[in-house]
Structure 1
Amino acid sequence: MAAATSVGFDWGDLLALLPWTLAAVVVVLGVTLLVALRQGRHTVVDVAWGLGFVAIALTAFLVGDGDAGRSWLVLLMTAAWGLRLGVHIARRSRGKGEDPRYEAMLAKAPGSRTVFAVRRIYLTQGVVMWFVSLPVQVAMVQSDPLGWLAWLGVAVWAVGLFFEAVGDWQLERFKADPGNKGKVLDTGLWHYTRHPNYFGDACVWWGLWLVAASTWPGVLFVLSPAFMTWNLAKGTGAALLEKDIGDRRPEYADYVRRTSGFVPLPPKRA
């Protein structure tokens, strides 16, 4: 990428930072596991997902020694996204039992359910969290000032946060109306994509990557947002959710036929 220049970057600074952010992940998920065992449900790990990224960004901000403007910007971008997501999921799961996904997974545990949960849920989530956050960590040790590509990243991030927050809000209002029970939400942002929240989530991470990619060597960490996007669209995100909804709501097939699965597009005509 031609726009990726560098005033100075020390790989040693990044290598020194990585153990600290890894420790932050371990602490967040360790505390989450204790809370989960106390409550008797591992669904609390979903609340810790966004908060874990905030902990990584804050740790990198405190330990890193990069450009102050870039560091503050990335910290605020990550915190705004992660805190909103954490609060939203906490409100959504309040008073509910175990997530059916985790219940089905834990039912297959060959031995201790706790050990199985640590290996299959917490360890997996921790590795993904740390890997996806690499652009955030790199940005915290870059000494270059902000350039135009970084501000393009802010714009992409803002679009993503809008889609994610508004999409979640529209779905929450839809479910709160008893008259919509059994129906499919196909208005608002959901008229143009079946997963505006997942699309927004992907945009958030591409935006953060652009902030890091505006200077060397941030561009090298493109696999982090790429993996996040794949996971949202084809992995444990949209694909898994749609399988569950399709099994419960036959009319969802028509919605799938006429509505884009990820990127917002005008719906197909009947």
Structure 2
Amino acid sequence: MLTLSLKFSVASRAVFVALSLSLVCASSLAQTKPTGAFATVNGVAVPQSLLDNNVKANVAQGQRDSPELRQVIQDELVNREILAQESARLGLDKTTEAQAQWATVRQTFLVELLLNDYMARNPISEASLKTEYDRQMALMKDQQQYRLSLIVTSTEDQAKAVLARLRKGEAFAKLATEASLDPSKKDGGNVGWVVPAQILPAISNVMVNLVKGALAAAPIQTPAGWNLIKLEETRPFKAPTFDEAKNDIRQTLVQKQRFDYVKRLRENAKVVQ
């Protein structure tokens, strides 16, 4: 019995060791990640490139690339994959509304890819910038400049309510910070120096008839919303240097280049409406 017991004990140990090795191997296999992935979720690879792109985006916003940052991002991406899989399991992506939203996201993504590719292949040259700068300076050299403050609201009633407060003496900058939709709100509504040709006629036609310190009598409607304007001061046109104007000119030329590209594509497309 003792011998049998000993034999049984040795055999049991062999089985136990074999089972342990099997479990370790199975665990190792389960944890094996495909090439190019930093994790898998239910067998689905989460790409390393996705992690790298998110790290770059955070670093570009001032974060420091560190193991702690990468771990936080990894956890978030894994959580998102888990949530996405659960959403798909429930069939939430199969509804008509979800399909329409997905089509919009896909279309927007493809448009950005195309336009970015076009701009990369057709960059704005320094010579083009200088030519446009010279053209603009020649057009504006005899014009008057206006320093404008602006508040934009989404409805006419909101604009009228703000205008009433302005007429009672509340500070324009304070109300711009509180109520405006325009990016200038961070500067108290200060748009800076402009010439009439730089802004919409609906606003410039009113602006040129205001006296220093005056408010427009009524809100002005534009595609951006309902605009309240105040003329802070005027001066003869003061030309910026090429370096000062270069970024704004580049944006203008980029917008024109994109517009012309879209126009050409549309002219060659078969559109039925």
TM band (smaller chain): under 0.3
Greater Rg over alpha carbons, structure? 2
- Higher normalized contact order (CA 8 Å, seq sep 6+, divided by chain length): 1
